[in-house]
Amino acid sequence: MKTIRTTTLALIALVAVALSIAFAQTSATTVASTGATEASGTKTGDSASDSSFRDRYPRYKIRAGDAFDIAFELSPEFNQSVSVQPDGFVTLRGIGDVHVAGETVPELTATLRKAYDKILHDPLISITLKDFEKPYFIADGQVGRPGKYDLRGETTLTEAIAMAGGFLDSAKHSQVLLFRRVNEEWMSAQVVDVKKMQSQKNLREDPLLHTGDMLFVPKNRVSKLKPLFPSASLGAMTKTY
């Protein structure tokens, strides 16, 4: 009886060790997978959960290569025109270098007021953009004319696809990807079911594009399999998405 009890305890101990090892391996796999996702610099989301897709009127953010005029209402001797250097800094008269890349015009005004507050009393500053990156979007994948397009006025995803030549026969209408940069390290990704919107004749979920957005139309299943079969064998297949 004692031998049986000892054997049972040993088996229980072995099972516990095996479960611990399996749990550790699962945790390591989960951590590695999470790390890989974070390293990719891409977040997935939808218009209901991702604020970057809910912002209807985003403010322009200063970029390297932009140029703007700075006007001082009470101290015109400090008026100047500056260009943003590749590292995001501008050199200001009487102040030196200040980092401004990534700021909107209101944020830039506050930054410059704080910088000049060291030598001027409550400076009144206005900013006028002179040279800046024109709004654009990029269309890629299974569209007629992939490329970079000017973004003029309010343009929705389906309108952008039309501007890029429309869907090819190989397009997967139900999984169009819309990428949007959140900051220097992250991009948000939204999957848009254009097929569903068009079949229901309801474009209320058709997202407005922001400057710098990229839409990607993947291949449908039939077009992925097509190289594996003779062309004639696919002649009867008319629905390709």
189's CB contacts (< 8 A; 6+ apart) are: 42, 43, 44, 45, 177, 178, 179, 180
Domains by residue range for the chain, with CATH: 67-131 (3.30.1950.10), 136-234 (3.10.560.10)
Q: Taking the model in full, what pTM does it have?
A: 0.55
**Chain segment 38-78, per-residue pLDDT in tens:** 334 555 444 434 555 556 677 888 989 999 999 999 999 99
Task: pLDDT band for 94, please (50, 70, 90 cuts).
Answer: very high
Q: Tell me the residue type at 89.
A: F
pLDDT band at 12 (very low <50, low <70, confident <90, very high): very low
Residue 116: which H helix or E strand, with range?
A: helix 105-116
Residue 14 tokens read as 């072995």
How far is 115 from 107, CA to CA, in rounded Å?
Answer: 12
**2 has pLDDT over 50:** no
Structure confidence at residue 134 (pLDDT):
85
